[in-house]
Structure 1
Amino acid sequence: MTIMVNSDATLLLRTVEPKQTDTTPLIELDRAGMTYPGPPPVEALKPVQLQVYGGEHVAIVGPSGSGKSTLLNLLGLLDEPTTGTYLLDGQDTSTMKEAKRTRLRADKIGFVFQSFHLIQHRTATENVAIPLVYQGIPGRRRRAVAQQKLKAVGLGHRLDAFPTTLSGGERQRVAIARALATEPSLLLCDEPTGNLDTDTTYAILATLDELRSQGLTLLVITHDMEVAARAERIVTIRDGQLHEGAG
């Protein structure tokens, strides 16, 4: 990875040689930035270029208020950049209508959050099946897919358990299974171990390592350097700017 600063002080990040055979990045931010309207306007993410190739495991680290959430929202197609462009799997999302962005997000991206966001009165299987409802998949097929994903993360014995009866680690595994239900190309993890104890954290990280070994692209946003150290690349965000390395 090389870092360059152009004449208008925009920070550019470029990958030298990807390990993958793909020549098109899965993620490509091209001078993408985010400014929230004021008064006064707040430049939460300064214009940057970032490339992530299929199959990479990248950690984004930084303190609170550094711009991590803004970056996550851009990468997850929850917000649009106010400057520059964002290409996801070669598709320019900045020119898309909202319906197409929503469909692309559902097809390409899975989300794992710190707080799990499970529906308490639904079983593990029902929680995992929720994204499949929006894809129009029939009920019997949804249940089969959901149970297969739960078994894949080691929860084959908890298929009909409610979140209130699950440990923190088990709830996070349900959340991971739900994120995988639609067979995404990219898994975005926002502090995925933030609410877990040390032993459970290692178990969840091992699960993520296994997913990475199967070819899934992982982008993990964290403040925990032990979590970040599992990634192939670490990118630090500070004051809305990205810097390659742990900084």
Structure 2
Amino acid sequence: MSQFPAVAASDADTEMLPAVSDGLIRLEQVGLTYPGPPPVDALRPCDLTIGTGEYVAIVGPSGSGKSTLLNVLGLLDKPTTGRYLLDGHDTSLMSEGKRTTLRAKTIGFVFQSFHLMPHRTAEENVALALVYQGTPAKVRRERAREMLEHVGLSHRIGAVPTTLSGGERQRVAIARALAATPSLLLCDEPTGNLDSKTAASVMETLDELNRNGLTILIITHDQTVADHAGRTVTIRDGILSED
């Protein structure tokens, strides 16, 4: 695979989102409580720093708060306490519109369910990730083909999801997540719907992306998946801990 391209922030982006901290991810006493009755402390106030290029697994049993943490890190949910800095930008000070812009520029998502459009080809599914950025159609197609080649699927660009294996569908989903050249890839149980052999192939793809410099954070309950990461953080009852 070729070196994963980095994204240079424009002057306009820098002005809109002033950098105030080192590290790609930094949580400072971040917590999230869902209102009741009774209120639920889904994520207890915690500190966490993840540097650029790290490969981190977040592990814990069902109901431990993994999905809540993913939603906070992905700027899908706003914490009720603390401060979350992403790529040096204080998201706690942003409007929802600016959070959406930062999410689109910085984060790619890979889910357990592939979320592919069933009647669109692999190329079209990947290209859809760039539609809302106003990218011209020709550039979208070129970028989609480049990303599919990047994950080893250049021979399947015209295939629809129903003709793809589970591993191929997940690699299409990874290519789609990479289309906007994110700084961070958030993966939620990326091998949960795959057999062990196919899961190993998908993990090899993620390993290679990390070796090429992409920061990856995987939410998983599977220790085999977590072992691919260079660092493991545990969450239980909404409390983060790290050996």
What TM-score does the superposition give when structure 2 sets the normalisation length? 0.91
Q: CA deviation at 1:95?
A: 1.1
The answer as to 2:81 corresponding to 1:104 is no
Higher relative contact order (CA 8 A, sep 6+): 2
Give the equivalent residue in structure 2 for 1:18: none
Give the equivalent residue in structure 1 for 2:166: 168
Structure 2 residue aligned with 1:69, among 56, 67, 70?
67
Residue deviations 1:131-168 (CA, integer Å, cap 9, x gap): 21111100010000001000110100100100011000
Give the equivalent residue in structure 2 for 1:57: 55
- Unpaired runs of at least 5, structure 1: 1-22
Structure 1 residue aligned with 2:86, among 88, 101, 106?
88
Q: Which amino acid aligns with 1:234?
A: T
CA distance in 2, matches of 1:112, 1:216: 14
CA distance in 1, matches of 2:33, 2:128: 33
Corresponding residue pairs, total: 223
CA distance in 1, matches of 2:213, 2:150: 15
Give SS of 1:157's match.
helix
Residue deviations 1:219-245 (CA, integer Å, cap 9, x gap): 000000010011110000000001104
CA distance in 1, matches of 2:180, 2:205: 18
Give the equivalent residue in structure 2 for 1:156: 154
Give SS of 2:133's match.
coil
Give the equivalent residue in structure 1 for 2:134: 136
Give the equivalent residue in structure 2 for 1:203: 201
Give the equivalent residue in structure 2 for 1:187: 185
Give the equivalent residue in structure 1 for 2:124: 126
Give the equivalent residue in structure 2 for 1:34: 32
Q: CA deviation at 1:24?
A: 1.2
C-alpha RMSD of the superposition: 0.7
Give the equivalent residue in structure 2 for 1:224: 222
CA distance in 2, matches of 1:169, 1:102: 29
Structure 1 residue aligned with 2:115, among 101, 114, 117?
117
Q: Which amino acid aligns with 1:83?
A: T
Residue deviations 1:40-79 (CA, integer Å, cap 9, x gap): 1000000000000000000000001000000000000001
- Unpaired runs of at least 5, structure 2: 1-20
Runs (4+) off by over 6 Å:
none
Q: Which amino acid aligns with 1:104?
A: L
Q: Give me the identity figure in percent.
A: 68
CA distance in 2, matches of 1:110, 1:60: 17
Tell me which moved more, 128-137 or 50-59.
128-137
Q: Which amino acid aligns with 2:159?
A: A
The answer as to 2:44 corresponding to 1:46 is yes
CA distance in 1, matches of 2:117, 2:60: 30
Greater share of helix: 2
Residue deviations 1:97-137 (CA, integer Å, cap 9, x gap): 11111010000000000000001011101110112111110
Q: Which amino acid aligns with 1:86?
A: Y
Give SS of 2:155's match.
coil
